Amino acid sequence: MKYFIGNWKMFGIPRSIKIIDRINNFSNRDKKNNKKYKAIIAPPHTLLQDFSRKFKNKKVSICAQNCFEKDRFGAYTGSVSAFMIKKIGINYVIIGHSENRAYGENDSIIKEKIFTALKNNLNIIFCIGEDKNQKRKKLTLKVLKKQITKVLKRNYNLKKIIIAYEPVWSIGTGKIPKPAELQKILILLKKFLKSHFKTRYNFKILYGGSVDSKNIDNFKLMKELDGFLIGGASKSSKKFIDIIKKFYK
């Protein structure tokens, strides 16, 4: 099963619900393929409770874009805990997005976030990715391995963690990796995950970074790829649906 996860970032107001409605309706009608994928949308925190109610038991699920690193309640002005997210019926959260890492979210904060999200039984979209400089120095795999091992523990319920490989240089830039390069990274990363975590579990890895309906064909044949994290193109129902349509064409 493939994931198509839309990350709205700091966009969206109550009436943006119609975007999700259209995606949900499309997915309901898409009888031929709708068992092959799961569509999930991550709106900002302000819309989570309302959207979570409206899309309860629907084809499309709702995801939080982040959670605070401390559990339950506390004197943390402006923060929202994984516990609070779970309590409004949300089952997914994005953690470690490079836009948050750029604002100081380091491995130790991400580690705490993942711990509290797991404790509250959330499914985690865990973002990792190298920047332009690291790619140029051929450090990609080293960076990805470090981002994973600094944060995930062997005794975690690893099935709750979906890795989103998002090269920083690709987010919002229109640039995507060469298919052969991406394929190689996916294969090596999956192999590493199995051996490091001493498991036969086949980790789910998504790709994220400038995915749209014009470049989606590049990803079609990658059987190691378990889906996509989609930023810009998820704010329009047409663009998001076109990605799914083209992927299964």
| Binding stretches for ligand PEP (CB under 6 A) | 7, 166, 171-172, 208-211, 229-232
Nearer to ligand PEP, 43 or 208 (CB): 208
Tokens 């140029």, residue located: 136
196 catalytic residue (yes or no): no
The question of whether 45 is a catalytic residue gets the answer: no
Q: Do the Cβ atoms of 234 and 240 come closer than 8 Å?
A: yes
User: Which is closer to ligand PEP, CB of 76 or CB of 217?
Assistant: 217
CA-to-CA distance for 75 and 50, rounded, in angstroms?
Answer: 25
- CA-to-CA dists, residue 19 to 12, 27, 38, 52, 241, angstroms: 10, 13, 16, 14, 10
CB of 155 to ligand PEP, least distance (A): 28
Q: Are 218 and 176 a contacting pair, CB within 8 Å?
A: yes
Task: List the structure tokens of 224.
Answer: 């190691």
Nearest-approach distance from CB 33 to ligand PEP, in angstroms: 22
Residue nearer to ligand PEP on the CB measure, 227 or 232? 232
Cα dihedral 54/78/128/212 (nearest 10) = 50
In the complex, what is the shortest distance from the CB of residue 208 to ligand PEP, in angstroms, rounded to a whole number?
4
Catalytic residue among 69, 99, 130, 166: 166
- Catalytic residue (choose from 69, 97, 105, 130): 97
Catalytic residues, which ones?
97, 166
